[in-house]
Amino acid sequence: MNVGLTTPILPASEAAVAAAARCLADGGLVGFPTETVYGLGADATNPAAIARLYRAKGRPSFNPLIAHVGDLEAARLIGRFDARATALAEAFWPGPLTLVLRRTRDCAVADLATAGLDTIAIRVPAHPLARDILRAFAGPVVAPSANLSGHVSPTTAAHVQSDLAGRIDLIVDGGAVAVGVESTIVGCFEAPMLLRPGGLPRGEIERVLGRALPRPPDEAGHDTGQPLAPGMLASHYAPRTPVRLEAVGVDAGEALLAFGDGVVPGVDATTATMNLSAQGDLNEAAANLFGYLRALDLTGARAIAVMPIPHHGLGEAINDRLRRAAMGRE
Ligand code: TXA
Ligand code: MG
Protein backbone atom coordinates (compact mmCIF):
# COMPACT_ATOMS: atom_id res chain seq x y z
CA MET A 1 0.00 0.00 0.00
CA ASN A 2 1.25 3.47 -0.82
CA VAL A 3 2.70 5.41 2.09
CA GLY A 4 4.86 7.93 0.21
CA LEU A 5 4.11 11.57 -0.49
CA THR A 6 3.30 10.92 -4.11
CA THR A 7 1.03 8.48 -5.86
CA PRO A 8 2.12 6.72 -9.05
CA ILE A 9 0.28 7.73 -12.24
CA LEU A 10 0.05 5.09 -14.95
CA PRO A 11 -0.84 6.04 -18.53
CA ALA A 12 -3.79 4.11 -19.96
CA SER A 13 -2.71 0.58 -20.95
CA GLU A 14 -3.62 -3.05 -20.35
CA ALA A 15 -0.98 -3.18 -17.64
CA ALA A 16 -2.51 -0.13 -15.93
CA VAL A 17 -5.96 -1.76 -16.00
CA ALA A 18 -4.55 -4.96 -14.48
CA ALA A 19 -2.67 -2.98 -11.81
CA ALA A 20 -5.84 -1.04 -10.96
CA ALA A 21 -7.91 -4.22 -10.61
CA ARG A 22 -5.22 -5.83 -8.44
CA CYS A 23 -4.99 -2.75 -6.27
CA LEU A 24 -8.80 -2.68 -5.75
CA ALA A 25 -8.78 -6.39 -4.85
CA ASP A 26 -6.06 -5.68 -2.25
CA GLY A 27 -8.25 -3.04 -0.59
CA GLY A 28 -6.44 -0.14 -2.28
CA LEU A 29 -7.71 3.21 -3.58
CA VAL A 30 -7.46 3.95 -7.32
CA GLY A 31 -8.11 7.24 -9.11
CA PHE A 32 -9.49 6.53 -12.60
CA PRO A 33 -11.32 8.43 -15.35
CA THR A 34 -15.02 8.16 -16.03
CA GLU A 35 -16.69 10.17 -18.80
CA THR A 36 -18.06 12.64 -16.21
CA VAL A 37 -15.20 13.30 -13.75
CA TYR A 38 -12.33 11.24 -12.29
CA GLY A 39 -13.50 8.81 -9.59
CA LEU A 40 -11.70 7.44 -6.54
CA GLY A 41 -12.44 3.73 -6.60
CA ALA A 42 -12.55 1.17 -3.79
CA ASP A 43 -13.92 -2.39 -3.54
CA ALA A 44 -17.58 -1.78 -2.68
CA THR A 45 -17.73 -4.96 -0.58
CA ASN A 46 -14.67 -4.13 1.58
CA PRO A 47 -15.55 -1.95 4.60
CA ALA A 48 -11.89 -1.34 5.50
CA ALA A 49 -11.16 -0.04 1.99
CA ILE A 50 -14.25 2.19 2.15
CA ALA A 51 -13.22 3.57 5.54
CA ARG A 52 -9.82 4.46 4.03
CA LEU A 53 -11.59 6.09 1.09
CA TYR A 54 -13.69 8.36 3.33
CA ARG A 55 -10.50 9.25 5.25
CA ALA A 56 -8.49 9.98 2.08
CA LYS A 57 -11.17 12.39 0.84
CA GLY A 58 -11.87 13.90 4.25
CA ARG A 59 -15.51 13.06 3.53
CA PRO A 60 -18.23 12.88 6.17
CA SER A 61 -19.11 9.21 6.31
CA PHE A 62 -22.87 9.83 6.35
CA ASN A 63 -22.51 10.80 2.71
CA PRO A 64 -23.19 7.63 0.67
CA LEU A 65 -21.26 6.54 -2.42
CA ILE A 66 -22.23 5.49 -5.94
CA ALA A 67 -21.60 1.82 -6.80
CA HIS A 68 -20.14 1.48 -10.30
CA VAL A 69 -20.77 -1.74 -12.20
CA GLY A 70 -20.09 -3.01 -15.72
CA ASP A 71 -23.63 -3.60 -16.95
CA LEU A 72 -27.32 -3.81 -16.10
CA GLU A 73 -27.00 -7.48 -15.17
CA ALA A 74 -24.44 -6.65 -12.49
CA ALA A 75 -26.61 -3.73 -11.35
CA ARG A 76 -29.59 -6.05 -10.79
CA LEU A 77 -27.58 -7.95 -8.18
CA ILE A 78 -27.45 -4.88 -5.91
CA GLY A 79 -30.52 -2.75 -6.78
CA ARG A 80 -34.22 -3.50 -7.37
CA PHE A 81 -35.28 -2.30 -10.81
CA ASP A 82 -38.91 -1.48 -11.56
CA ALA A 83 -40.13 -0.87 -15.13
CA ARG A 84 -39.13 2.80 -15.13
CA ALA A 85 -35.65 2.15 -13.76
CA THR A 86 -35.16 -0.56 -16.38
CA ALA A 87 -36.26 1.78 -19.15
CA LEU A 88 -33.80 4.47 -17.99
CA ALA A 89 -30.95 1.97 -17.65
CA GLU A 90 -31.61 0.56 -21.11
CA ALA A 91 -31.78 4.02 -22.65
CA PHE A 92 -28.77 5.64 -20.97
CA TRP A 93 -26.29 3.02 -19.70
CA PRO A 94 -23.41 3.06 -20.12
CA GLY A 95 -23.48 6.82 -19.56
CA PRO A 96 -23.71 9.77 -17.16
CA LEU A 97 -26.83 8.63 -15.26
CA THR A 98 -26.97 7.33 -11.67
CA LEU A 99 -30.11 5.55 -10.46
CA VAL A 100 -31.03 5.43 -6.76
CA LEU A 101 -33.01 2.26 -6.06
CA ARG A 102 -33.96 0.02 -3.14
CA ARG A 103 -31.11 -2.36 -2.27
CA THR A 104 -31.60 -6.02 -3.03
CA ARG A 105 -31.84 -8.37 -0.05
CA ASP A 106 -28.43 -9.91 -0.71
CA CYS A 107 -26.74 -6.73 -1.95
CA ALA A 108 -23.00 -7.26 -1.42
CA VAL A 109 -22.19 -3.56 -1.10
CA ALA A 110 -20.99 -2.69 2.41
CA ASP A 111 -23.37 -0.69 4.65
CA LEU A 112 -20.62 1.84 5.19
CA ALA A 113 -20.75 2.73 1.47
CA THR A 114 -24.50 3.38 1.53
CA ALA A 115 -24.36 5.18 4.89
CA GLY A 116 -26.85 2.70 6.32
CA LEU A 117 -29.61 3.69 3.85
CA ASP A 118 -31.84 0.95 2.42
CA THR A 119 -31.31 2.52 -1.00
CA ILE A 120 -28.30 2.38 -3.28
CA ALA A 121 -26.96 4.65 -6.02
CA ILE A 122 -25.79 2.70 -9.09
CA ARG A 123 -24.10 3.75 -12.30
CA VAL A 124 -22.60 2.07 -15.37
CA PRO A 125 -19.89 4.45 -16.63
CA ALA A 126 -19.14 4.77 -20.35
CA HIS A 127 -15.42 5.63 -20.27
CA PRO A 128 -13.49 2.74 -21.87
CA LEU A 129 -10.86 2.68 -19.08
CA ALA A 130 -13.54 2.62 -16.38
CA ARG A 131 -15.27 -0.22 -18.21
CA ASP A 132 -12.00 -2.16 -18.58
CA ILE A 133 -11.19 -1.75 -14.88
CA LEU A 134 -14.70 -2.86 -13.86
CA ARG A 135 -14.48 -5.87 -16.16
CA ALA A 136 -11.04 -6.85 -14.80
CA PHE A 137 -12.08 -6.36 -11.16
CA ALA A 138 -15.40 -8.16 -11.72
CA GLY A 139 -17.28 -6.61 -8.78
CA PRO A 140 -18.94 -3.35 -7.74
CA VAL A 141 -16.59 -0.39 -7.22
CA VAL A 142 -17.66 2.60 -5.14
CA ALA A 143 -16.26 5.81 -6.54
CA PRO A 144 -16.90 9.34 -5.36
CA SER A 145 -15.28 12.13 -7.35
CA ALA A 146 -11.51 11.93 -6.74
CA ASN A 147 -11.13 15.28 -4.96
CA LEU A 148 -10.77 16.33 -1.35
CA SER A 149 -14.21 16.79 0.17
CA GLY A 150 -15.42 20.34 -0.51
CA HIS A 151 -13.17 20.83 -3.55
CA VAL A 152 -14.34 20.99 -7.16
CA SER A 153 -14.37 17.62 -8.93
CA PRO A 154 -11.28 16.56 -10.93
CA THR A 155 -11.42 16.41 -14.71
CA THR A 156 -7.76 15.43 -15.28
CA ALA A 157 -5.29 13.05 -13.60
CA ALA A 158 -3.27 16.12 -12.54
CA HIS A 159 -6.26 17.42 -10.56
CA VAL A 160 -6.45 14.06 -8.76
CA GLN A 161 -2.72 14.21 -8.04
CA SER A 162 -2.96 17.76 -6.69
CA ASP A 163 -5.74 16.83 -4.21
CA LEU A 164 -4.87 13.27 -3.21
CA ALA A 165 -1.15 12.58 -3.82
CA GLY A 166 0.18 10.35 -1.05
CA ARG A 167 -3.33 9.60 0.23
CA ILE A 168 -4.25 7.02 -2.43
CA ASP A 169 -2.45 4.10 -4.05
CA LEU A 170 -2.66 4.60 -7.81
CA ILE A 171 -3.94 6.96 -10.49
CA VAL A 172 -4.75 5.79 -14.01
CA ASP A 173 -4.46 8.64 -16.52
CA GLY A 174 -7.00 8.64 -19.32
CA GLY A 175 -6.58 12.29 -20.30
CA ALA A 176 -9.19 15.00 -19.82
CA VAL A 177 -12.75 13.75 -19.36
CA ALA A 178 -15.43 14.35 -22.00
CA VAL A 179 -18.47 15.49 -20.00
CA GLY A 180 -16.97 17.49 -17.13
CA VAL A 181 -19.84 17.52 -14.62
CA GLU A 182 -20.92 14.57 -12.46
CA SER A 183 -23.66 12.15 -13.44
CA THR A 184 -27.33 13.08 -13.24
CA ILE A 185 -28.90 11.30 -10.23
CA VAL A 186 -32.49 10.07 -10.51
CA GLY A 187 -34.31 8.52 -7.55
CA CYS A 188 -36.57 5.73 -8.86
CA PHE A 189 -39.23 5.27 -6.22
CA GLU A 190 -43.01 5.80 -6.49
CA ALA A 191 -42.38 8.71 -8.83
CA PRO A 192 -38.91 9.30 -10.34
CA MET A 193 -37.21 12.45 -9.03
CA LEU A 194 -34.20 14.47 -10.11
CA LEU A 195 -31.87 14.29 -7.08
CA ARG A 196 -28.90 15.96 -8.82
CA PRO A 197 -28.77 17.63 -12.24
CA GLY A 198 -25.69 16.40 -14.10
CA GLY A 199 -24.12 15.21 -17.33
CA LEU A 200 -27.34 13.79 -18.79
CA PRO A 201 -29.77 16.66 -19.49
CA ARG A 202 -33.17 16.42 -17.79
CA GLY A 203 -35.01 16.69 -21.11
CA GLU A 204 -33.56 13.40 -22.39
CA ILE A 205 -34.72 11.58 -19.26
CA GLU A 206 -38.19 13.15 -19.43
CA ARG A 207 -38.51 12.01 -23.04
CA VAL A 208 -37.96 8.37 -22.02
CA LEU A 209 -40.22 8.62 -18.96
CA GLY A 210 -42.92 10.45 -20.90
CA ARG A 211 -43.41 12.76 -17.92
CA ALA A 212 -41.80 15.66 -16.10
CA LEU A 213 -39.00 14.88 -13.68
CA PRO A 214 -39.61 16.89 -10.50
CA ARG A 215 -36.91 17.98 -8.05
CA PRO A 216 -37.57 16.73 -4.50
CA PRO A 217 -39.80 19.13 -2.51
CA ASP A 218 -36.81 20.02 -0.32
CA GLU A 219 -33.54 18.24 0.34
CA ALA A 220 -34.92 16.22 3.27
CA GLY A 221 -36.01 12.60 2.75
CA HIS A 222 -39.55 11.55 3.63
CA ASP A 223 -39.20 8.64 6.01
CA THR A 224 -35.53 8.31 6.91
CA GLY A 225 -34.84 11.90 7.87
CA GLN A 226 -31.71 11.55 5.73
CA PRO A 227 -31.07 14.04 2.96
CA LEU A 228 -32.17 12.53 -0.39
CA ALA A 229 -28.88 13.29 -2.07
CA PRO A 230 -26.83 14.09 0.98
CA GLY A 231 -23.78 14.98 -1.09
CA MET A 232 -25.62 17.98 -2.37
CA LEU A 233 -24.46 19.83 0.75
CA ALA A 234 -24.49 23.49 -0.20
CA SER A 235 -20.74 24.04 -0.01
CA HIS A 236 -19.80 20.91 -1.95
CA TYR A 237 -18.13 22.53 -4.93
CA ALA A 238 -16.46 25.64 -3.59
CA PRO A 239 -13.09 27.00 -4.70
CA ARG A 240 -11.18 29.10 -2.13
CA THR A 241 -11.78 32.36 -4.03
CA PRO A 242 -15.28 33.87 -3.65
CA VAL A 243 -17.49 33.33 -6.70
CA ARG A 244 -19.85 36.06 -7.97
CA LEU A 245 -22.63 34.90 -10.31
CA GLU A 246 -24.60 36.62 -13.08
CA ALA A 247 -21.81 39.15 -13.55
CA VAL A 248 -22.63 41.83 -16.11
CA GLY A 249 -19.36 43.66 -15.41
CA VAL A 250 -15.99 42.92 -13.84
CA ASP A 251 -14.59 44.83 -10.86
CA ALA A 252 -10.88 45.57 -10.40
CA GLY A 253 -8.96 42.58 -9.09
CA GLU A 254 -11.56 40.06 -10.18
CA ALA A 255 -10.98 37.13 -12.52
CA LEU A 256 -13.62 36.52 -15.20
CA LEU A 257 -15.20 33.21 -16.08
CA ALA A 258 -16.82 34.10 -19.39
CA PHE A 259 -19.39 32.38 -21.59
CA GLY A 260 -20.21 33.20 -25.20
CA ASP A 261 -18.85 35.99 -27.36
CA GLY A 262 -20.36 38.93 -25.47
CA VAL A 263 -18.07 41.57 -23.97
CA VAL A 264 -18.56 42.77 -20.41
CA PRO A 265 -17.43 46.16 -19.07
CA GLY A 266 -14.23 46.05 -17.02
CA VAL A 267 -12.81 43.02 -18.80
CA ASP A 268 -9.49 44.85 -19.36
CA ALA A 269 -8.99 45.12 -15.59
CA THR A 270 -9.33 41.39 -14.84
CA THR A 271 -6.45 39.44 -13.32
CA ALA A 272 -7.34 36.56 -15.66
CA THR A 273 -10.10 35.61 -18.08
CA MET A 274 -11.15 32.15 -19.20
CA ASN A 275 -14.06 31.49 -21.55
CA LEU A 276 -16.08 28.32 -20.90
CA SER A 277 -17.21 28.37 -24.53
CA ALA A 278 -16.76 31.30 -26.88
CA GLN A 279 -19.29 29.64 -29.22
CA GLY A 280 -21.84 29.40 -26.42
CA ASP A 281 -21.78 25.57 -26.50
CA LEU A 282 -23.03 24.20 -23.15
CA ASN A 283 -21.37 20.79 -23.63
CA GLU A 284 -18.01 22.47 -24.13
CA ALA A 285 -18.71 24.72 -21.13
CA ALA A 286 -19.46 21.71 -18.88
CA ALA A 287 -16.23 20.01 -19.95
CA ASN A 288 -14.23 23.15 -19.09
CA LEU A 289 -16.08 24.17 -15.89
CA PHE A 290 -14.14 22.51 -13.06
CA GLY A 291 -10.71 22.89 -14.68
CA TYR A 292 -11.27 26.60 -15.25
CA LEU A 293 -12.58 27.10 -11.69
CA ARG A 294 -9.43 25.41 -10.36
CA ALA A 295 -7.19 27.51 -12.62
CA LEU A 296 -8.87 30.83 -11.75
CA ASP A 297 -8.77 29.87 -8.05
CA LEU A 298 -4.95 29.88 -8.32
CA THR A 299 -4.64 33.37 -9.86
CA GLY A 300 -4.91 35.26 -6.57
CA ALA A 301 -7.99 37.15 -7.79
CA ARG A 302 -10.21 38.88 -5.22
CA ALA A 303 -13.22 37.04 -6.64
CA ILE A 304 -14.24 35.04 -9.69
CA ALA A 305 -16.97 36.87 -11.65
CA VAL A 306 -19.08 34.47 -13.70
CA MET A 307 -21.13 35.60 -16.71
CA PRO A 308 -24.73 34.33 -16.95
CA ILE A 309 -25.09 30.78 -18.34
CA PRO A 310 -28.34 29.68 -20.06
CA HIS A 311 -30.31 27.08 -18.10
CA HIS A 312 -31.25 24.58 -20.80
CA GLY A 313 -29.48 21.26 -21.56
CA LEU A 314 -26.31 20.89 -19.50
CA GLY A 315 -26.84 24.48 -18.32
CA GLU A 316 -28.96 23.18 -15.44
CA ALA A 317 -26.02 21.16 -14.05
CA ILE A 318 -23.52 23.96 -14.73
CA ASN A 319 -25.67 26.53 -12.91
CA ASP A 320 -26.23 24.09 -10.02
CA ARG A 321 -22.46 23.63 -9.53
CA LEU A 322 -21.82 27.38 -9.89
CA ARG A 323 -24.51 28.19 -7.32
CA ARG A 324 -22.83 25.80 -4.86
CA ALA A 325 -19.42 27.28 -5.65
CA ALA A 326 -20.80 30.77 -4.92
CA MET A 327 -22.02 29.68 -1.46
CA GLY A 328 -18.41 29.24 -0.37
CA ARG A 329 -16.83 26.65 1.84
CA GLU A 330 -18.07 25.48 5.21
O1 TXA B 1 -20.31 11.26 -12.20
C2 TXA B 1 -20.35 10.81 -11.05
O3 TXA B 1 -21.40 10.47 -10.50
C4 TXA B 1 -19.02 10.67 -10.31
C5 TXA B 1 -18.17 9.64 -11.04
C6 TXA B 1 -16.86 9.35 -10.35
O7 TXA B 1 -18.91 8.46 -11.23
N8 TXA B 1 -19.21 10.31 -8.95
C9 TXA B 1 -19.72 11.19 -8.05
O10 TXA B 1 -19.76 10.68 -6.76
O11 TXA B 1 -20.08 12.31 -8.32
P12 TXA B 1 -19.93 11.60 -5.49
O13 TXA B 1 -19.68 10.68 -4.35
O14 TXA B 1 -19.06 12.81 -5.59
O15 TXA B 1 -21.43 11.98 -5.50
C16 TXA B 1 -22.41 10.98 -5.25
C17 TXA B 1 -23.72 11.59 -4.90
C18 TXA B 1 -23.71 12.28 -3.57
O19 TXA B 1 -24.43 13.49 -3.70
C20 TXA B 1 -24.46 11.30 -2.68
O21 TXA B 1 -25.08 11.93 -1.59
C22 TXA B 1 -25.47 10.73 -3.65
O23 TXA B 1 -24.70 10.55 -4.81
N24 TXA B 1 -25.96 9.43 -3.22
C25 TXA B 1 -25.28 8.27 -3.09
N26 TXA B 1 -26.07 7.29 -2.63
C27 TXA B 1 -27.29 7.82 -2.46
C28 TXA B 1 -28.55 7.33 -2.02
N29 TXA B 1 -28.71 6.07 -1.64
N30 TXA B 1 -29.59 8.17 -1.99
C31 TXA B 1 -29.45 9.45 -2.39
N32 TXA B 1 -28.28 9.98 -2.81
C33 TXA B 1 -27.23 9.19 -2.84
MG1 MG C 1 -18.16 14.74 -5.41
Give pLDDT, residue 61.
74
Residue 263, Cβ neighbours under 10 Å: how many? 7
Q: Name the pLDDT band for 63 (thresholds 50, 70, 90).
A: confident
Q: Report the C-alpha gap between 198 and 187 in whole angstroms.
A: 13
Amino acid sitting at position 76 = R
Give pLDDT, residue 204.
98
Report the DSSP beta bridge partners of residue 274. Answer: 257
Give pLDDT, residue 316.
97
Instruction: For ligand 1, say whether the CB of 154 is within 6 Å of any of its atoms.
Output: no
Look at 7-21, 262-276, 312-326 and tell me which has the smallest mean pLDDT: 262-276
* Mean pLDDT value across residues 149-161: 94
Instruction: For ligand 1, say whether the CB of 316 is within 6 Å of any of its atoms.
Output: no
For residue range 294-326, list pLDDT tens digits in order: 999 999 999 999 999 999 999 999 999 999 899
Instruction: For ligand 1, say whether the CB of 30 is within 6 Å of any of its atoms.
Output: no
Q: Is the pLDDT of residue 69 over 60?
A: yes
How far, in Å, is the centroid of ligand 2 from the Cα of 7? 20
How far, in Å, is the centroid of ligand 2 from the Cα of 269? 33
Which residues have C-beta under 5 Å from ligand 2, the single-atom ion? Answer: 145
Q: Name the pLDDT band for 222 (thresholds 50, 70, 90).
A: very low
| Helix H or strand E encompassing 121 | strand 119-123
- CA dist list (Å): 187 to 39, 98, 205, 247: 21, 9, 12, 34
Shortest-distance atom of ligand 1 to CA 98: 3
Instruction: For ligand 1, say whether the CB of 182 is within 6 Å of any of its atoms.
Output: yes
Contacts of 116 (CB under 8 A, 6+ apart): none
Q: What is the pTM of this model?
A: 0.92
Q: Is the pLDDT of residue 329 over 80?
A: no
Mean pLDDT, the chain, rounded, equals: 92
For residue range 241-250, list pLDDT tens digits in order: 999 999 999 9
Q: Is the pLDDT of residue 34 over 60?
A: yes
Give pLDDT, residue 232.
53
Give pLDDT, residue 238.
79
Instruction: For ligand 1, say whether the CB of 228 is within 6 Å of any of its atoms.
Output: yes
Q: What DSSP line would sit under 213-234, residue for residue?
A: -PPPSSSB-SSS-SBSSGGG-T
Q: Is 297 left (phi over 0), alpha (psi -120 to 50) or beta?
A: alpha
Give pLDDT, residue 236.
60
How far, in Å, is the centroid of ligand 2 from the Cα of 153? 6
| Helix H or strand E encompassing 142 | strand 141-142
Give pLDDT, residue 278.
97
Nearest-CA residue for atom 10 of ligand 1: 144
Instruction: For ligand 1, say whether the CB of 185 is within 6 Å of any of its atoms.
Output: yes
Nearest CA-CA partner of 69 in 88, 102, 45, 51: 45
